[in-house]
Amino acid sequence: MSESDPHKQNAQTPAPDDRDAANQEVEIFHRVNRLKLKAGASSLHAGPGFIDPKAINRAETVIKNKESAYTTEVEDILAKLDRAWKEAKSLPADESADAIEAVYHTANHIKDLAAMFGYELMQHFGYSLRDFAGRIDMTNKAHHVIVQAHLDVMWVVFHENIKDHGGPKAEELKKIVAQAIEKYS
């Protein structure tokens, strides 16, 4: 590789070991913007470019079309959440950390999935459960009630295909969970 190879690092860039010696120094690294050239800019000094708006619209459309997969996906993931929770309950409290972590991350996935397709109420409960899963005490039976309340309302939201945050049914379900948290946590 010669000096002009774009992948070759600047000879002046200090090796990590050298940097350790001067650990208290402040250094500034001005890097060549390879990405700009790679993206097709005529030069490093060319102005900002753009991604073809048609491509962005196409991407939006493709994602919107995948909304039909939401129902199947959310059902699968709710079932997975049920399984993780059952496993957590079946284990001694001091051995349930992995199962609790699975509840935490699965709830997080539900939240992300619902948010992506605009299912605000499911997003709300996914967020609420994930938040609570971060502080579950398995020795506290009241915490079991709170998690189960989340699971129950999420299944209701799924079966009744409630999308929006507002509405009397949504408010009622949110109230159930809020009361469970307030009473038992």
Partner 1 sequence: MIERKIASASIVISPTEKTKTLSVFLGLFFQGASDYPARRKSPLAQSGKYMPGSSTQKEKSAYSLNGFNVLIVEDYPFMASLIATMLREFGVGNIFIAHNGADAREMLVMFNGDPAARDHIDIVLTDWLMPGGDGIALIDWVRAHKKDSVRFVPIVLCSAYASELVVIKGRDHGANEALVKPVSAKKLANRILHVIDHPRPFIKAPDFFGPDRRRKVEPYEGDEKRKTSPEELREHHERI
179 to each of 34, 133, 172, 185, how far by Cα in Å? 55, 17, 11, 10
Q: What is the DSSP letter of 95?
A: G
For residues 96 and 176, is the Cβ–Cβ distance under 8 A? no
Residue (56 or 178) nearer to partner 1, CB: 56
For residues 154 and 134, is the Cβ–Cβ distance under 8 A? no
Residue (110 or 177) nearer to partner 1, CB: 110
Residues that bind partner 1 (CB under 8 A): 1-10, 12-14, 16, 19, 22-42, 46-52, 55-60, 62-63, 66, 69, 73, 101-102, 105, 108-109, 111-113, 115-116, 127
Residue (64 or 86) nearer to partner 1, CB: 64
Q: What is the DSSP letter of 93?
A: G
Side-chain half-sphere exposure of 172, counting CA atoms within 13 A: 7
For residue 11, which amino acid is it?
A
- How far apart are CB 60 and partner 1 at their closest, in Å? 5
- How far apart are CB 51 and partner 1 at their closest, in Å? 5
Residue (46 or 79) nearer to partner 1, CB: 46
- How far apart are CB 150 and partner 1 at their closest, in Å? 17
Residue 3 phi/psi, 5° resolution? -65, -25
For residues 129 and 147, is the Cβ–Cβ distance under 8 A? yes
- How far apart are CB 54 and partner 1 at their closest, in Å? 9
- How far apart are CB 3 and partner 1 at their closest, in Å? 8
CA 141 – CA 89 distance, rounded (Å): 10
Residue (51 or 141) nearer to partner 1, CB: 51
